[in-house]
A and B are shown apart, each in its own frame.
Chain A
Amino acid sequence: MAATLSVENLNTTFFTKAGEVKAVDGVSFEVDKGKILGLVGESGSGKTVTGFSILGLVDPPGRIVNGRILFGGEDLVQLSEESMRHIRGKRISTVFQDPMMTLNPVLRIDTQMIEALLAHEKMTGDAARQRARDALGQVGIPSPDERLKAYPHQFSGGMRQRVAIAIALLHRPELIIADEPTTALDVTIQAQILFEVQALCRESNTAMIWITHDLSVVAGLADDICVMYAGRLVETGTVDGVLDNPLHPYTRGLIGSVPSRNTRGRPLNQIPGMTPSMLSLPKGCAFRTRCAVADGACEEQPEITAPIDGRGVRCFHPHMDNPQ
Chain B
Amino acid sequence: MTVYVIRRLLQAVLVIFIMTLIVFFGVNVIGNPIDILVDPDCDQACFEAAEKALGLDKPIIEQYFIFVENALQGNLGKSFVIGMPALPLIVERMPATLELALSAMILAIFTGIPLGMWAGLRPDSVSGKVIMGGSILGFSLPSFWVGLMMIMIFAVEFGLLPSTGRGETVTVGGIRLSFLTLDGLSHMILPAINLALYKISLVIRLTRAGMREAMHQDYVKFARAKGLSTTRVIFVHVMKNILIPVVTILGLELGNVIAFAVVTETIFSWPGMGKLIIDSIQVLDRPVIVAYLMITVFMFIFINLIVDLLYSLIDPRVRLQGIKA
Q: With an 8 A cutoff between CB atoms, is A115 at the interface?
A: yes
**A98 near B218 (CB under 8 angstroms)?**
yes
Q: With an 8 A cutoff between CB atoms, is B145 at the interface?
A: no
**B225 near A57 (CB under 8 angstroms)?**
yes
A-B contact pairs, 14 of them (CB 8 A): A59-B216, A85-B228, A89-B225, A89-B226, A93-B225, A96-B218, A102-B219, A102-B221, A104-B240, A105-B241, A106-B244, A108-B316, A116-B227, A164-B222
**B317 near A151 (CB under 8 angstroms)?**
yes
Q: Top 5 A-B pairs ranked by shortest CB distance?
A: A89-B227, A101-B218, A89-B226, A88-B227, A102-B222
Please indicate the chain A residues that have their CB under 8 angstroms from the CB of B217 in the complex: 101
Q: With an 8 A cutoff between CB atoms, is B223 at the interface?
A: yes
Q: With an 8 A cutoff between CB atoms, is A227 at the interface?
A: no
* Cα A120 to Cα B237 with chains together (Å): 18
Q: Mark A74-108, 1 if CB is under 8 A from B, else 0.
A: 00000000000111111001101110011111111
Q: Which residues of A contact B (CB under 8 A)?
A: 55, 57, 59, 85-90, 93-94, 96-98, 101-108, 112, 115-116, 119-120, 151, 153, 164, 167
State the majority secondary structure of interface residues on B. Answer: helix
CB proximity of A52 to chain B, nearest CB, Å: 8
Please indicate the chain B residues that have their CB under 8 angstroms from the CB of A112 in the complex: 223
Name which residue of chain A comes closest to B315, CB basis: A106
**B229 near A105 (CB under 8 angstroms)?**
no
CB-CB contacts below 8 Å: B230-255 with A:
232, 236-237, 240-241, 244
Name which residue of chain B comes closest to A97, CB basis: B218
Please indicate the chain A residues that have their CB under 8 angstroms from the CB of B221 in the complex: 57, 96, 102
**A106 near B226 (CB under 8 angstroms)?**
no
**B228 near A119 (CB under 8 angstroms)?**
yes
**A151 near B316 (CB under 8 angstroms)?**
yes
CB proximity of B294 to chain A, nearest CB, Å: 37
- In the complex, which of the residues A85, A101, A102, A107 contacts B227, with contact meaning CB atoms closer than 8 Å? A85
* Cα A103 to Cα B314 with chains together (Å): 16
* Cα A118 to Cα B305 with chains together (Å): 38
Please indicate the chain B residues that have their CB under 8 angstroms from the CB of A57 in the complex: 221, 224-225
Name which residue of chain B comes closest to A115, CB basis: B228
